[in-house]
């Protein structure tokens, strides 16, 4: 009788441990915010001089077309996905000269600093719900510009 009780007790312990591990994993997932960022070059040229650059995806193009921007072409230079824990921050280098610093303020808002040549040149705090896109920009030579998009994906 003792062996049956021990076996059942062991099964219950294993089941509880698995349940706890699953629950802990889900809690850990909800404590992270996931983002995707893109470095975009804006120009009136029809093609980028860099063959590695590609046209921005339709979702980003639509968002850019809604803004009062003067450029006709937008090319993706770099794309990165990253996550931050709630209440934490992350610096993301998008190129040698620019990047962003993203901080979770309260689980509902993010503080985003635009970094150019190692210095924060602009900071904004705003809500950024899942699926929304924030666009940051800076000047570039020859009547072009660079843009950084920030999209919350989780």
Task: Give the three-class secondary structure for 3.
Answer: helix
* 8-state DSSP, 118: T
| Residue 15's pLDDT band (cuts 50, 70, 90) | very low
Stretch 8-23: mean pLDDT, rounded? Answer: 48
- The string of DSSP letters for 85-118 reads ETT-EEEEESSSSEEEEEEESSSSEEEEEEEETT
Neighbours of 108 (CB within 10 A): 10
What is the tens place of the pLDDT at every residue in 27-39?
445 689 999 999 9
What is the tens place of the pLDDT at every residue in 57-115?
999 999 999 999 999 999 999 999 999 999 999 999 999 999 999 999 988 899 999 99
Q: Which two tokens stand for residue 147?
A: 């843009």
Please state the pTM of the whole predicted model. Answer: 0.77
């Amino acid at each position: 009788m003792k062996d049956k009780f021990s076996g059942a007790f062991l099964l219950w312990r294993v089941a509880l441990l698995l349940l706890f591990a699953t629950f802990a994993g889900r809690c850990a997932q909800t404590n992270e915010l996931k983002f995707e960022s893109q470095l975009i070059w804006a120009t009136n040229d029809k093609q980028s001089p860099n063959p590695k650059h590609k046209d921005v995806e339709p979702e980003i193009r639509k968002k850019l077309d809604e803004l009062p921007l003067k450029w006709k072409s937008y090319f993706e230079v770099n794309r990165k996905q990253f996550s931050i824990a709630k209440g934490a921050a992350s610096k993301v280098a998008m190129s040698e000269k620019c990047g962003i610093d993203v901080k979770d303020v309260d689980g509902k808002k993010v503080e985003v600093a635009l970094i150019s040549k190692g210095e924060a040149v602009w900071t904004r705090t705003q809500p950024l719900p899942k699926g929304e896109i924030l666009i940051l920009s800076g000047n570039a030579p020859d009547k072009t510009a660079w843009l950084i998009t920030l999209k919350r994906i989780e």
